[in-house]
Chain A
Amino acid sequence: MSEIEHPKPGIDWETRAYWEGAKRHELILQRCSSCAAIQHRPRALCVSCFADTIEYFRASGRGSVYSYTITHQNQSPGFRNATPYVLAWVELEEGVRLLSNIVGCSPDKVRIGMPIEVDFADIDGEVAIPRFRPR
């Protein structure tokens, strides 16, 4: 078993601020200055009130495991040698959920509700992937 070799994400202008933040090891979310809604994934406009008034802010990076699965079979590149690995829905303190991996502990120690914090994996100095570890 080896570490996941995260495939590099496709990045477009709507997600660039998120990935530039990740490269600085900051987890970036969007907030609408008109209606105060927080949203993820990044979009060009607010899908709560449909305004263009999107702002970016640095999230706490703290949250808990909403659900998880220990993946034992995945033949795709980057993952086939990394099983078993933990795929999880993470609930951030800011209220949004995102899909990620739980690292830094044995997969069988992961539990729903477990407190976690963001942890970045640098790839080739180009991009960093937000994952989460127990806190």
Chain B
Amino acid sequence: MSISPKTVIAGAYEHPTRWAPDKTPWQIMAESARGALNDCGLELSDVDGLFTAGIEIGSMAVMQLAEYLNLKPRYLDGTNLGGSSFVAHVAHASAAIHAGLCSVALITYGSTAASNAMAIGTGGGSGQDAASGMISPYGLTTVGGYALCAQRHMEMYGTRSEDLAEIAVTTRRHAGLNPAAKMRTPITIDDVLSSRIISTPLHLLDCCITSDGGGALIITSAERAHDLKQKPVSVLGSGEAIWHPQIGNADLLELAAAQSGEQAFRQSGITPSEIDFCTIYDSFTITVLMTLENLGFCKAGEGASFVRDGRIGLGGELPINPDGGGLSSNHPGMRGVFLVIEAVRQLRGDCKGRQVDDARLGLVHGTGGLLSAFHSGATLILGNET
């Protein structure tokens, strides 16, 4: 059973900006909300459920956003799971609508991460952690957190830098087909391998870019969406999880995706082989490879062979991140909202030049936090048959 065949994504909008020193995060959120409402034909006054999260907008961001928009919603959710937050928000909004707690949910994100020179991927800082005193003396960077997983994966399974590079090269090729993407010049495996090392074994081109940006989604009931402008996209299954290897014997190669994905597949009654395409959080190349294994698209240790031979490219068996992802299109701090937006566009058949053929079922997976310290996973299975 799906969580609710009665809830759908009715509106979606990706803010076109990649560099916005002249805008505030609130403005980007509001402009994105306007875009998503225009997309489906609803008004701001129809919104009675509000969802947001962010890094630079404070711990009571959802209240500030309501004030900014002059809204008095009857349902509010500021759940912050890092970059996966907005993927989880879709599931939370579906549940709230199903329970009658709201009828039109607005999920929005906006950030000026790049123009504010916020350290995300390759920058410094001690990262996010639950026990800062145990970690902060040692110089854990965001990329370092993921590099620790990559090194272990290489040791256990023989995964090579060339295999990770395949993901960067494929994603850049997709970005070349997306006029809005920030980095569109094709790259080769050699370009990735010869880019400078940030934290072994990860190179610069294994890392997401940084940009400004934002986006928004409108979730409502299938009944309400019936006479709206766009063909609705159904939420068929969802799951979320938190993983933390600091305690016990959790393996660095086991991700939250194993739990969140299992639930999403079980709820939807869909199996990995039925999925037509994925949008997977690609903070780093290793994130994609390990997420594919943990979602069950291949076995643990088989990610390297899975991503070879064009399988994850457009025209391949399981295209991943057709928009160019965080590696090449945009990455304003937390990227989860864009994973959902691209999946919606693909399921509507709106992706001229990068459309997945006959896209009917898409899987969205967001990762938040730091892979080897503690991280979240949120999975959605979306379909275009209501």
Contacts and interface: CB of A to CB of B under 8 A. Distances in A.
B249 A7 contact: no
B155 A67 contact: yes
Contacts of B148: 67-69, 87-89
A10 B136 contact: yes
A7 B133 CA distance: 9
A92 to B, nearest CB: 12
A72 interface: yes
A9 B137 contact: yes
B245 A87 contact: no
7 contacts: A12-B133, A40-B246, A67-B148, A69-B151, A69-B202, A71-B144, A73-B124
A67 B126 contact: no
A68 B139 contact: no
Interface of B: 119, 122-126, 131-141, 143-144, 147-152, 155, 196-202, 245-247, 249, 252, 372-373
Contacts of B133: 9-12, 15, 19
Contacts of B200: 69-70, 72
Contact of B126 (A7, A8, A70): A7
B252 A66 contact: yes
A112 B138 CA distance: 18
A135 interface: no
Contact of B124 (A4, A67, A79, A89): A79
A101 B124 contact: no
B152 to A, nearest CB: 4
A85 B139 CA distance: 9
B131 A70 contact: no
A73 B247 contact: no
Max chain A Cβ within 10 angstroms of own Cβ: one of B119, B125, B134 = B134
Interface string A74-102: 11101110100101110000011111110
B194 to A, nearest CB: 15
Nearest to B146: A69
A9 B252 contact: no
B199 A112 contact: no
Contacts, number: 118
Given A7-B137, A75-B124, A87-B140, A41 B198 contact: no
Contacts of A112: 151-152, 155
A88 B198 CA distance: 15
Contact of B139 (A12, A97, A101): A101
Contacts of B141: 71, 73-74
B120 to A, nearest CB: 12
Q: Can you list the 6 inter-chain pairs with the closest CB atoms, starting with the nearest?
A: A76-B124, A9-B133, A69-B147, A75-B124, A67-B152, A6-B137
Contacts of A75: 119, 123-124
Given A67-B155, A112-B151, A89 B252 contact: yes
B225 to A, nearest CB: 44
Given A41-B246, A76-B126, A97-B245, A71 B139 contact: yes
Contacts of A6: 137-138
A59 B196 CA distance: 39
A7 B139 CA distance: 9
B139 A41 contact: no
Contacts of B249: 95
B343 to A, nearest CB: 32
Contacts of B139: 4, 71, 74, 76, 78-79, 82, 85, 87, 101
Contacts of A19: 133
A129 interface: yes
B372 A9 contact: no
Contact of B134 (A39, A69, A72, A98): A98
